[in-house]
Structure 1
Amino acid sequence: MTLEILRSDLLGEVPHGFFTRRGGASSGVFAGLNCGTGSSDQCEAVATNRARVAEAMGGPLHGVHQVHSAEVVVVDGAEQTPRPKADAMVTTRPGAVLTILTADCQPVLFHDPEAGVIGAAHAGWKGALGGVLEATVDAMVRLGAQRDRIRAAIGPSISQRAYEVGPEFLDTFLAEDDEAMRFFANGQDGRYQFDLVGYGLHRLRRAGVEAEWTGHCTYSDPARFYSYRRTTHAGEADYGRLISAIRL
């Protein structure tokens, strides 16, 4: 099956893509393009999937050991082994392919076309609240980018209608960001629905960056996307990871 790659018009002609699960070699609960080396999928299948992505992107893949932080790595050579613990990468190196793995969290790809700087960030609720998006923008600026030229696209992520949280979750956000209340809608039994993507767009735009979401919900489309929350609700043992990539 052919790989399915979603793209953002906002990022223009820079090679990039939010890969769905279609076109991969994995089977079972991982069926499709599972690129998560930390999953319990067969190593050979994951390696095959990642090789297909590398071929589609035209270069070797760079990644980090994602830990829901605001840490950003500058890619200026071969991929580090072991992968550094971080949740974003930036580079000016031609041919470098920056990748992020997600399964409900926001994959965010960045580009300043004039400066020749790209970035990629993994922004779940912890990372977004902790400032990983702003940290990525700051790192790009240090490499020569300008905020008003940076464009950012958020790929497939869990949507508000599928993201139910408790009152303690809301309290955590309000303790750190008094503008966050508008991203919570009332749910059932005293719970709330959190708009992760809306919050990500808010943080990006507040940082001076033009941004958009591709409009795809990971939870609601099992044929195309992996979802940690959907897997949890289904009682499955593990889940696949989607990959998003950008190359200079």
Structure 2
Amino acid sequence: MSSKLPLIQPEWPAPANVRAACTTRMGGVSEPPWDSLNLGGHVDDVPQHVGVNRKRLADRLALDPGSIGWMSQVHGTGVTELPAEAVPVADASVTDRPGEVCAILTADCLPVLFCNRDGTRVAAAHAGWRGLCDGVLEAVVSRFGASGSDVMAWLGPAIGPRHFEVGPEVREAFVVKNGRASDAFSTDGARRPGHFMADIYRLARQRLEAAGVHEIYGGTLCTVADPGRFYSYRRDGRTGRMASLIWLDG
């Protein structure tokens, strides 16, 4: 495999047949402001560049490009089962079919990858604050057909707690559903009166733990703080998207 397209490999004790990776912004052909490995087809990048980037990713991972289950993400809680006949409108995908790749796109929102202990089912979720608050992670866990204790999760690169300033309505939306969520909000560092700094990693861990998932890994990489490696919508506005992918070996 070429080192010109660097990947982040989750550090978690997943079964050997579970494969997973997260891209950075490096290794593609897109020009600024999408430079360079933009994989999002909805951000006004040249479509041919996105196509080349997706082909490079598939080659890097030794995958059939058609096996990658791209979705139309809407910041909701919908979960689709792969393979799908068309591009699904959803924010998470699950599969027990070897070779079918669950994939999500992010640029500050939290990517969460899942597998079970037996290595028979995998999933990927796009958890922006709205989807996270409304239960997208719980919706994924429920699709494993077992207690959450059989599931492990990896939290990929997302906006970190030193950069995620939100209004009081965001804090209230989480706290109403889970009183523990107040621990994930702080006024320290907030630049606007009445606003809070939110820890999306902690919020995700709280929701996963409440769903019975206790093997939770990752959650240390901040997209905003690392412009050399990561796209960030909060930092740059017009920008590209990274992919987090997981699949079962055939």
The range that moved more, 126-135 or 46-55, is 46-55
- How far apart, CA to CA, are the structure 1 residues paired with 2:13 and 2:39? 23
- From 183, 193, 200, give the equivalent of 2:197: 193
Please report how far the alpha carbon of residue 115 of structure 1 lies from its aligned counterpart in structure 2 after TM superposition.
Answer: 4.9
The range that moved more, 4-13 or 86-95, is 4-13
Please report how far the alpha carbon of residue 172 of structure 1 lies from its aligned counterpart in structure 2 after TM superposition.
Answer: 2.5
Are the aligned partners of 2:180 and 2:206 in contact in 1 as well (CA < 8 Å)? no
Q: Which amino acid aligns with 1:239?
A: T
Partner of 2:75: 68
Give the secondary structure class of the aligned counterpart of 2:138: helix
- Count of residue pairs brought into register by the alignment: 237
- How far apart, CA to CA, are the structure 2 residues paired with 1:132 and 1:219? 23
- How far apart, CA to CA, are the structure 2 residues paired with 1:71 and 1:158? 22
Return 5+ residue gaps in structure 1 as ranges: 233-237
Are the aligned partners of 1:201 and 1:212 in contact in 2 as well (CA < 8 Å)? no
- How far apart, CA to CA, are the structure 2 residues paired with 1:191 and 1:178? 18
The range that moved more, 93-102 or 179-188, is 179-188
Give the secondary structure class of the aligned counterpart of 1:162: coil
CA separation of 1:217 and 1:103: change in aligned 2, threshold 3 A: same
- How far apart, CA to CA, are the structure 2 residues paired with 1:140 and 1:124? 21
TM-score, length basis structure 1: 0.90
CA-based RMSD of the aligned residues comes to 1.5
- How far apart, CA to CA, are the structure 2 residues paired with 1:6 and 1:33? 14
* Partner deviation per Cα, 1:101-147 (whole Å, 9 max, x = no partner): 00100111111141510000000101111100010011122xxx552
Are the aligned partners of 1:121 and 1:132 in contact in 2 as well (CA < 8 Å)? yes
The range that moved more, 52-61 or 211-220, is 52-61
Q: Does 1:33 align with 2:37?
A: yes
Partner of 2:94: 90
Are the aligned partners of 1:11 and 1:153 in contact in 2 as well (CA < 8 Å)? no
Give the secondary structure class of the aligned counterpart of 2:154: strand
- How far apart, CA to CA, are the structure 2 residues paired with 1:177 and 1:208? 15
* Partner deviation per Cα, 1:203-245 (whole Å, 9 max, x = no partner): 112211111224110001111000110013xxxxx21011110
- How far apart, CA to CA, are the structure 1 residues paired with 2:208 and 2:96? 21
From the two aligned structures, give the one with the greater helix fraction: 1
Q: Which amino acid aligns with 1:168?
A: E
Write out aligned runs for 1:14-33 (5 A): 14-33=18-37
TM-score, length basis structure 2: 0.90
Please report how far the alpha carbon of residue 190 of structure 1 lies from its aligned counterpart in structure 2 after TM superposition.
Answer: 2.7
Please report how far the alpha carbon of residue 175 of structure 1 lies from its aligned counterpart in structure 2 after TM superposition.
Answer: 2.9
